[in-house]
Amino acid sequence: MKTNFLEISAANGWVEGTLQNVELNDAGWIQLASDVLEGYYESPQIPAPLFENLVCCWNATTPKGSWVELEARVYLPEKEMWSVWGSWGCWSPYIVRRNNSGRYPKEAPQIRMNCDILEPLLGAASMLQVRVKLHREEGVGSPVLRRVTVTLRNKILPAIPCREEELPVLPESCVLDTPACSQMVRDPEVGNCICNPTTVSVLLSDRGNQVLPEIMALSTVDLIEGFGNWTYVMAGAGMYGYRAYGRFGDYDLIKSEIAAGRSVGVSVHYARTLEKAAERGLPYLEGAPCNTPGHILTVRGYGVEDGQEYVYVSDSAADSDPECHLRYRKEQFLQAWEGRMCYLVDTQPECPAMIPEFEYCDLAQDEKGKYYFVHEGQEYPVYADMLTGKKSEPHKMTLMIRQPQEYSQPRMDANDLFQYPQVDENGHFFLPEGAWTVYLISNTGLRYMSQKKVL
């Protein structure tokens, strides 16, 4: 490993790692052997430049009743020892997902799992090893692992190169027709903190795959971190069949992706005024919609206007969908993008999506004219406490209704009209006049849908 990025997959023969109770399918992807409930892939020990941060991602399909868990350990040359294994937690859209921050020995710790980042604590690391466990319940199809990616970063030591080869000549400017979606008009309980899944929804929509922000958010929420886990949202994009991963990059990497027609997600922090920048110790970003210590947005282009280079974005922190299309001065953007995390997603899926499917439910009306779900002939009330705590408690839900509306800019399904009904003490809710699609979505895989025309 000579750069800050490595993909481990069929493309490089899984770097000749160890397979235990797993096998390769016809596509070269890893799945459990027949009649086996658990197995793993383990990479060899991989030399790397000295590094201080490590982030892993994976792309996998996980049928209901199965999951994958990625672990890594690092070699600490100052101590001449390998660390314990650090885990990113078990993952599937159907399970309770929690990262493993804080689960390591308090005495003489060797590493720290800082949500999605493995941090060596006894000096920089010089080698790494990854292991992915696959698990399924009896009678359930096998999870299928398509790839693991590793990306490295230094904060004190010199930066690790992003590439070995020279970049191709890039056009002077390129701006994509990427759609826009404001997180601030989404589910009121979580709208101000779902920039991460909203950005992934924009990226997938830009590639022709419509995913509503609430669906992506509740499919990938980390009940420790909330909606901010880099690794989990890239696994979420992967469950739609895409090659998708996070990596630490540079501005040339962003430009090369844009020039290839691929919008990019980035992790930033910024202040919208010089006063707030000084007060909070944040980079100043002229034209920004808010002040934030941590945020994800979509880069959709770059170019020069009147001698000034700009970065064109779809920033979900804006107050409405049309207002998300903004431009930032390059030098200010680079300061805001200090951590250098990028989300990279291929333009075409490599396999069919395997996602929680919606079940169609009936809607019945009570004597007060309010509605409630009827699932398999039984009333399914939705109480108020079921709709709160989505970022930290399992089995919590979003109830929302949707109506088509005109939208003149590059369009995604999320640009329709959405409302979020209040429920009464009986678990019933009011529907306004019009034709509505009604959704009930949980953070552990429940998906109900109905349609109703109210006169």
Q: What domains appear along the chain, each with residue ranges and CATH number? A: 5-153 (2.60.120), 174-345 (3.90.70.10), 359-454 (no CATH)
pLDDT of residue 167: 85
Whose tokens are 């206007």? That residue is: 305
Please enumerate in sequence order all residues whose Cβ is within 8 A of that of 196, keeping only pairs 6 or more positions apart, or say none.
217, 220, 227, 228, 229, 230, 233, 296
Nearest residue to 74 (alpha-carbon basis) of 58, 59, 52: 52
Provide the β-strand partners of residue 300. Answer: none
pLDDT of residue 455: 86
Tallying the residues shown for the chain, one arrives at: 455
Please enumerate in sequence order all residues whose Cβ is within 8 A of that of 234, keeping only pairs 6 or more positions apart, or say none.
57, 59, 200, 244, 245, 246, 343
pLDDT one-digit tens code per residue, 325-348: 999 999 999 999 999 999 999 999
Provide the β-strand partners of residue 127. Answer: 47, 75
Q: Is residue 188 over pLDDT 80? A: yes
pLDDT one-digit tens code per residue, 190-223: 999 999 999 999 999 999 999 999 999 999 999 9
The mean per-residue pLDDT over the stretch 373-394 comes to: 97
User: pLDDT confidence of 101, banded at 50, 70, 90?
Assistant: confident
Nearest residue to 396 (alpha-carbon basis) of 214, 231, 184, 238: 214
Please tell me whether residue 338 adopts helix, strand or coil conformation. Answer: coil
Q: Is residue 189 over pLDDT 80? A: yes
Task: Name the residue with higher pLDDT: 101 or 108.
Answer: 101
pTM score over 0.95: yes
Whose tokens are 């333009």? That residue is: 347
pLDDT one-digit tens code per residue, 216-260: 999 999 999 999 999 999 999 999 999 999 999 999 999 999 999
pLDDT one-digit tens code per residue, 366-379: 999 999 999 999 99
Maximum CA pair distance of the chain? 74
Neighbouring C-alpha atoms within 13 Å toward the C-beta of 400 = 23
**DSSP, residue by residue, 51-110:** ESEEEEEEEEE--TTEEEEEEEEEEETTTTEEPPPEEEEEE-TTS-----TT-S-SSS--
Please tell me whether residue 38 adopts helix, strand or coil conformation. Answer: strand
